Amino acid sequence: NKFIEQIIQAGEFFKGHQCQVIQNNIRMFEEGVEDDVWKIRDAVAEAFIARYGVKRVDKAEELVGKRRISMFNNKDTHFKFSDGSFNDRKREEEMLGEERIKRLQEDMQGVPGRASFKFILPNDSGPLMINLGKFYEKIQSSRFCFPRMLKNLISGFHVLDEFNLNLEFPEAAAKTEFIEKMRREDKKVFSFSLTDKVDTNLIEKIYEILESIEENDSIVLLGYCLLSQLNVGILYLLGHAFKTLEIEAENDLGVVVTLENFRNRKKMIDNFREIIEAANNARESNKIVISIFPISQLLCGKEINWHPSPWSCN
């Protein structure tokens, strides 16, 4: 009987505490404390915004989530590679550099080494929508490359860094032969380095290229990176300044971008001056230009069927 009494007493004790909590909650909101709670939430949000340098989303803009992006005709949304089992991934981490490179090569077997896409774009790309963000050193994700391929590319660069190796791609002989071939076709070649690091001078480089050519000239960008929103946005903008834009992926050369018959020179140079000015202002607050067009426009432009090559990671 004593044991049962103790159980009843314990039940009454906890019931009393629970009822007291409920009564306190009711009393709190009856007394208008809810306003204080919202004030605290606002204060915390303001402190977070100030501390981490974020900004409120403008009412004219919108948040685009995975569901919205999946509506676009973008192969990257639906294509997946298998990452293997947990044990496979652990063994891969313990492999030597040579073994890891061999594993990456095996993993990419069956992926076509060549691809080609050609676009004819209208003169006007629409207004620039320059967006700034915090500086990042390396590209770790991309909406313009299949995730597994990007993962293998990043893993390859990790091996190079770990063993302090230098990669020359394309090789000098193939590059020289290609440049000579383009010279005979009266096309100027501009080369870019194969790297996983962000090119902080890309905007200025493209601006200098545009200033060095004249109306109706044709150029070739060799090794141009198609992984970041800024890079693809710049190419999207350039495509509207030339009669045709062609993107090719070659085994021995990597990405080859051909832009034929330059047009609207003055307007394009003015656009890049605007971007450069924004980039210079961003540097004063330790930021960079991360995009010049929204992701939705690049993945599914109204005037084109835009499919960045999945093999652009070569």
pLDDT single digits (tens) 200-218: 999 999 999 999 999 999 9
Cis amide prior to 170 (ω within 30 degrees): yes
Mean pLDDT of the chain: 82
- Contacts of 146 by beta carbon, 8 Å cutoff, 6+ apart: 75, 76, 79, 81, 310
Residue 68 CB partners (closer than 8 Å, separation 6+): 296
CA distances for 113 relative to 140, 250, 299, 312, 313, angstroms: 22, 6, 23, 10, 10
Instruction: Over range 13-24, report the average pLDDT.
Output: 89
Average pLDDT for 248-262? 92
Q: Where do the structural domains in the chain lie, given as residue ranges?
A: 2-52, 113-145+164-299
Q: Are strands 218-222 and 187-191 parallel, antiparallel or unpaired?
A: parallel
Min mean pLDDT across 70-84, 113-127, 129-143 is at 70-84
Q: Which of 141, 153, 144 is nearest to 76 (CA)?
A: 144
By percentage, how much of the chain surpasses pLDDT 90?
Answer: 39
Q: For residue 33, is pLDDT > 60?
A: yes
| pLDDT of amino acid 78 | 44
Across 39-53, 102-116, 258-272, least confident range = 102-116
